[in-house]
Amino acid sequence: MEKNSISLSSPPSPTRSSADRRETIWLIAAAIGIAPVALAGAAIGLLLSGAFSRGDVGIRHLSVWMLVTAQMSGYLFLSAYVLLIIKNIWRRSFAELGFAVPSLRQVGTALLGAAAMIVVVTLLAQLVQTLSHARHEQQAVQIFRMIHDRTLVAYFALMATLAAPFTEELTFRVFIFNVGRRVMPLWGAAIVSGALFALAHQDPFVFIPLTAGGVILCAVYVRTANAWMSMITHACFNGFTLAVLFIAPRSTL
């Protein structure tokens, strides 16, 4: 096993100072602010996309454009918010959080994590659909099926494979997972991080599969001690989903 160099990973000490406890309280309060910040960013993006959209865009394409832009705007606001917390409340360097040049072994771990995430999430999703006797698609998949314009396809793919992995890993692994490790065991922090990651997708059908996927992302982060690696795992998972939709557009995901 590779040495975990993330300095935030040590469990909380029973003799922590009052300053440490105050910092933890501030971090938990900041975590509660994640949802409002993301929603505010999405709302601003929705307003701006409607105000500056071209008049010759069809209403169906306009709707998709606005939805994707709202999501991108939410990611932008959320990333800025979490980075602000890390630098001003947590006072941790990016190196301490695992933002470092990866080794080939770490990249290999990230790719293995992606394979594991694809298998586990897909199997659990199929199990949920079988038990619920329902054919269900995530909202993101439904939006993608509405796109018939190459520019919008590229825009959506950019969001899914770059913006989403960066922002969601920064939020749920680098921030929430590490905060959780200050107050609970490693496995508990991984489950909480994974559950909040699943809740953020606002879809009860994929809550269990994405919680498991979030735990796998935590495992990659801990195993490699490199934040970029869980982002690569996440990007590969999303990229696989897009590839399946391109190759077999009628498949159920």
Q: Which two tokens stand for residue 230?
A: 């869980």
Please provide the distance, in angstroms rounded to a whole number, between the alpha carbons at the two ends of the chain. 34
Whether 7 is covered by a domain: the verdict is no
Number of structural domains (the chain) is 1
Whether 253 is covered by a domain: the verdict is no
pLDDT in tens, 87-114: 888 888 888 889 999 999 999 999 999 9
Q: Around 45, how many Cα atoms within 13 Å sit in the side-chain half-sphere?
A: 22
Cα–Cα distances in Å, from 230 out to 47, 140, 213?
Answer: 32, 21, 11
Whether 109 is covered by a domain: the verdict is yes
Whether 252 is covered by a domain: the verdict is no
Q: Which two tokens stand for residue 223?
A: 């195993």
Please state, rounded to an integer, the average pLDDT across all residues of the chain.
Answer: 85
Whether 122 is covered by a domain: the verdict is yes
AA identity, residue 59: I
* pLDDT category of residue 66 using cuts at 50, 70 and 90: confident
Whether 54 is covered by a domain: the verdict is yes
Q: How high is the pLDDT of residue 3? A: 46
Average pLDDT on 44-66 reads 66
Cα–Cα distances in Å, from 193 out to 21, 56, 103, 178, 213?
Answer: 20, 43, 26, 9, 10
Q: Which residues contact 15 (CB under 8 A, 6 or more apart)?
A: none
Q: How high is the pLDDT of residue 253? A: 53
Our measurement of the distance from residue 162's CA atom to the centroid of its chain's CA atoms, rounded to an integer in Å, reads 10
Range of the domain at 44: 13-247
Whether 20 is covered by a domain: the verdict is yes
pLDDT in tens, 152-197: 888 889 999 999 999 999 999 999 999 999 889 999 999 999 999 9
Whether 153 is covered by a domain: the verdict is yes
